Structure 1
Amino acid sequence: MTQDISTRALDAMARARETTLVTGEPLGTEDLIAILHTPDEHLAELSQLAHEVRLKHAGDLVEVEGIISLKTGGCGEDCSFCSQSGLFKESPVRSVTLDPAELVEAAKHSAKNGATEFCIVAAVRGPDDRLLDQVAVAIEAIRREVDINISASLGLLDASQAQRLRDMGVRRYNHNLETARSHFPQIVSTHAWDERLRTLELVREQGMEVCSGGIIGMGESLEQRVEFAQQLAALEPAEVPINFLDPRPGTPLANYPVPTRGEALRAIAMFRLAMPTTILRFAGGRELSLGDDGTEAGLLGGMNAIIAGNYLTTLGRPAERDLDMLDKLQLPLKVL
């Protein structure tokens, strides 16, 4: 059985070299599942293949993004992984809202650290008029002082809200599908996967770039990871942020295991072979799953973007370390 699994993985890698690497066409479902079963002794070979696909079809530039939480905590949704839900009484995160000056300083810091993208995030089901007014003030203040692209992540949108964000100058909108459609009901019950999908469709209709990804390690099967990657690929997003579960105290997933290094590297390679031309961005959990040198391993294994510095409610690596690492790897930064 082990030999059969290994053979299927090696055959899938061979087909990826013959097709995906040459033409940029994604691997099919069965081959992507086989990739997730790649034995440890072939993991370096798999990462090298994914890196070659990334270089040929997505280029060598690394895009750096900074993020800031305009409104943290107090969300009325029950996303099982999220410490910002107000429904999880044991979660330590409580509601905090920043003022525009704090967002301007964060944007300046991000730009100083090489970021071309700055994302304003709020822990809400969707924005009300008051929140959109706050975002508008913040964007205007940032634009006066910082040369940086602005994106937003404010939950579910209706058509008028999407249009208003576009008119504010939001370039890219993030709304993660989080996991495969078939697994989503086990993770969230207060809204549906299709509601998230509709928001992304509205974003595209308004001419904003679509950003959508999710979290690896929430109890999904390997087949569901492939399902998720292909559902994202069907959206043709500009960017896919890939997180690895960082189990948060007080949430329903608090006792879930952290994805292993091998599991994470296989997932990165699978996503790259499913989406050869897409920006795949390292997001939360990379330090836990991949260890101290994990960012380097991921960027040489299929990823081509990072969030520099801290995340929304968890700590990341110092941005300066990431910049030093990119210099060492001779991977050029994307610039405005």
Structure 2
Amino acid sequence: MMQLIHEIKEKVLNGEKITFEEAMKLISIEEGDMESLEALYAGANEIRKKFAGNRADLCTIMNAKSGKCSEDCKYCAQSGHYHTGIQEYDLVDYEQVIERAKEMEREGAHRFSLVTSGRGVDGEEFEKLLEMYHRLRKETRLKICASHGIISYEQAMKLKEAGVSMYHHNVETSRDYYGEICTTHAYEDRIDTIRNVQRAGMELCCGGIIGMGESVEDRVKMAFEISQLGVKSIPINILNPIPGTPLGDLETLSPIEALKTMALYRFVIPDCYIRYAGGRMILGELQNIGFRAGVNAALVGNYLTTIGSKIEDDINMVRCEGFEL
């Protein structure tokens, strides 16, 4: 296995593409094979250094509208189809937004995103969001991101004009497994939004969730599908099973399985930001290993419906691993 890891790493470092079969061999390393795992992590780190440099990117999000979502995504606490006991509220006002944005800016975040529940936004609600983004661009130095579900090309253009530089829209899982996760909209609806964002000239943040009952093969398929989309910011979430959702009783993915997946994504997509996202707290004291295994970005602070980590702690961890901010 050590020789195979070395050969695949050298192939990627020389600018060649890893094959699906090679990726499957890498992600199939046994959890007890620590020598091979260390080689995999080190290889991913070497690839990261060559193709993505030594800079880390820290972003933060604000749950700007919570709950009552019409979609039935089986992992989501905000779906109106399930009873999870989360706090529900309509779109927040700008005073709350700018207070949170300024706080995140002071604490060292680089990006700030508003996230709203629901299939998408339109009408008066969309106009309010555009006004918020106009003001955030003027009143902070943060790069402004957005995550508002399925959007049209026209909406994407308006968001860009309002100051949004990056739009977040995950594929969530592989195309083949998607029907097991959501039935109220199709995988292709997500791809349409991704194309609309790219056509409008915004950067795209697009990843998914691992640990939703998918196969290892599905995780690898998602990596190759994201690679084909030309994405440069890839958040990898680890499912935090929420009681009341259809996936609420799943066993949490093991830390080693999560780290293997992140390292594998670096082999598949050498030049992107691979971003720690929701659920990384399951890694516990192993979180720093991700930054030695291809990870070079993180969603910091609290998440949508779960608690994250302190930004100061994340900054210290990233710097201790030799990254520049």
Letter of the structure 2 residue corresponding to residue 322 of structure 1: D
**Distance change in 2, residues 1:220/1:105 (3 Å):** same
Return the alpha-carbon distance in structure 1 between the equivalents of residues 104 and 118 of structure 2: 24
Q: Which amino acid aligns with 2:302?
A: N
1:276 corresponds to which of 243, 262, 270: 270
User: Is the partner of 2:320 in helix, strand or coil?
Assistant: helix
1:316 paired with 2:316, answer: no
CA contact (8 A) 1:179 1:214 kept: yes
Partners of 1:99 and 1:293 lie apart in 2 by 38
Q: How many residues align?
A: 321
Q: 2 CA distance for matches of 1:22 and 1:110?
A: 39
Give how far 1:11 is off: 4.8
1:34-73 pair list within 5 angstroms:
34-39=25-30, 40-41=33-34, 42-73=36-67
1:152-163 correspondence runs (5 A): 152-163=146-157
Q: Give the Cα separation in 1 of the matches to 2:85 and 2:4.
A: 44
Listed as ranges, the matches of 1:113-124 within 5 Å are 113-124=107-118
Cross-structure match for 1:255? 249
Paired residue type of 2:12: T
1:3 alignment counterpart = none
Matches within 5 A, 1:36-185: 36-39=27-30, 40-41=33-34, 42-88=36-82, 90-96=83-89, 97-185=91-179
How far apart are residue 292 of structure 1 and its match? 2.8
In structure 2, how many angstroms separate the alpha carbons of the residues matched to 1:148 and 1:215? 26
Mind listing any 5+ residue stretches in structure 1 that lack a counterpart?
A: 1-6
SS at match of 2:14: helix
> Where does 1:175-214 land on structure 2 (aligned, <5 Å)?
175-214=169-208
Give CA-to-partner distance per residue, 1:199-238, whole Å, 9 cap, x none. Answer: 0001111111111100001111111111110000000112
Query: Are 2:255 and 2:286, in contact at CA under 8 Å, matched by a contact in 1?
Result: no
1:99 maps to a residue whose letter is: D
Rounded to whole Å, the distance in 2 between the matches of 1:226 and 1:308 is 25
Matched position secondary structure for 1:240: strand
The answer (yes or no) to whether the contact 1:119–1:150 under 8 Å persists in 2 is: yes
Deviation beyond 3 Å, 4+ runs, structure 1:
none
Unaligned runs of 5+ in 2: none
CA distance in 2, matches of 1:167, 1:144: 13
The residue matched to 1:84 in structure 2 has which SS? coil
Q: Is the partner of 1:56 in helix, strand or coil? A: helix
Q: Alpha carbon RMSD of aligned pairs, Å? A: 1.2
Among all aligned residue pairs of Structure 1 and Structure 2, give the percentage whose two residues are the same amino acid.
36
Structure 1 length-normalised TM:
0.93
Q: In the alignment, which residue of structure 2 is the partner of 1:26?
A: 17
**3-state SS, counterpart of residue 171 of structure 1:** strand
How far apart in 2 are the matches of 1:67 and 1:46?
31
Distance in 2 (CA, whole Å) between partners of 1:144 and 1:18 is 46
CA contact (8 A) 1:13 1:35 kept: yes
Distance apart, 1:63 and its partner CA: 0.2
Paired residue type of 1:243: N
Measured against aligned partners, the alpha-carbon deviations of 1:299-330 in whole angstroms (never above 9, x if no partner) come to 11101100111111110111111111122222
- Asked whether the equivalents of residues 210 and 237 of structure 2 are also in contact (C-alpha less than 8 Å), the reply is yes
SS of match in other structure, 2:281: helix
Letter in 1 for 2:320: K
On the 8 A contact 1:211/1:241 being kept in 2, the answer is: yes
Moved more, 265-274 or 95-104: 95-104
CA distance in 2, matches of 1:265, 1:32: 14
Contact 1:61 1:331 in 2 (8 A): yes
Shift of 1:287: 0.8
Match of 1:4 in 2: none
TM-score (norm: length of structure 2)? 0.96
Distance 2:162 2:6 in 1: 47
Give how far 1:13 is off.
1.1
Deviation at 1:142, TM superposition (A): 1.7
| Alignment pair present for 1:264 and 2:258 | yes
| Residue in structure 2 matched with residue 331 of structure 1 by the alignment | 323
